[in-house]
Structure 1
Amino acid sequence: MKTTAPIGIFDSGVGGTSIWKEIHKLLPYEHTIYLADSANAPYGNRTESEIVALSRKNTEVLLAMGCKIIVVACNTATTNAIDTLRASYDVPIIGIEPAIKPAALQTTTKSIGILATRGTLSSSLFHKTSETFTKDISVVEIIGEGLVPLIEEGALNSLEMRQLLKKYTAPMLAANIDYLVLGCSHYPYIIPLLQELLPASVTIIDSGEAVARHTKKMLETTKALSEVRKTPALQFYTNADTQTLKSLLNKYSHKISIEKLKF
Structure 2
Amino acid sequence: MASLNYDWRDPSLPIGALDSGLGGLSVLREIRKALPLEDLLFACDCGKAPWGDRPGSWIEDRVMKIAGFLTAHRVKAIVVACNTATSAAIDRLRSEFPFPVIGIEPAVKPAVRMTKDGVVGVLATTRTITSNRLESLIERFAGNDRVIPVACPGLMEQVEAGEFHTTKTRRIIEKYVGPLIDQGADTLVLGCTHYPFLADEIQAVAGKDVVIIDPSPAVARFLVQRLTEEGSLRKAAGRTAVSRFWCTGNPDDRTETLQKLWSPEVRMESLEDAWPPLRDAL
1:42-100 CA-partner distances (Å, limit 9, x unpaired): 11100110111111111111001111100000000001211111112222100001111
Partner of 2:122: 114
CA 1:246/1:20 → structure 2, altered by over 3 Å: closer, same or farther?
A: farther
Identity, % of aligned pairs? 36
Partner of 1:26: 34
TM-score, structure 2 as length reference: 0.89
Partner of 1:253: 263
Unaligned runs of at least 5 residues, structure 2: 1-7, 273-277
Please, which of 60, 65, 76 is the counterpart of residue 68 of structure 2? 60
Superposition map of 1:178-197 within 5 A: 178-197=186-205
Please, which of 235, 246, 258 is the counterpart of residue 237 of structure 1? 246
Unaligned runs of at least 5 residues, structure 1: none
Q: Aligned-pair distance for 1:101?
A: 0.6
Please, which of 125, 128, 152 is the counterpart of residue 136 of structure 2? 128
User: Where do 4+ consecutive residues of structure 1 move more than 6 Å?
Assistant: none
Most deviating of 150-159 and 116-125: 150-159
Partner of 1:40: 48
SS at structure 2 position matched to 1:16: helix
Do the aligned residues in 1 keep the contact of 2:27 with 2:81 (CA within 8 Å)?
Answer: yes
Q: Aligned-pair distance for 1:220?
A: 0.3
Most deviating of 101-110 and 154-163: 154-163
Q: Aligned-pair distance for 1:160?
A: 2.1
Cα RMSD over matched residues? 1.5
Most deviating of 166-175 and 109-118: 166-175
Aligned residues between the structures:
263
Do the aligned residues in 1 keep the contact of 2:254 with 2:268 (CA within 8 Å)?
Answer: no
Partner of 2:230: 222
Letter paired with 1:233: V
Q: 1: CA distance between counterparts of 2:151 and 2:227?
A: 34
TM-score, structure 1 as length reference: 0.95
Do the aligned residues in 1 keep the contact of 2:29 with 2:262 (CA within 8 Å)?
Answer: no
Letter paired with 1:205: I
Partner of 1:207: 215
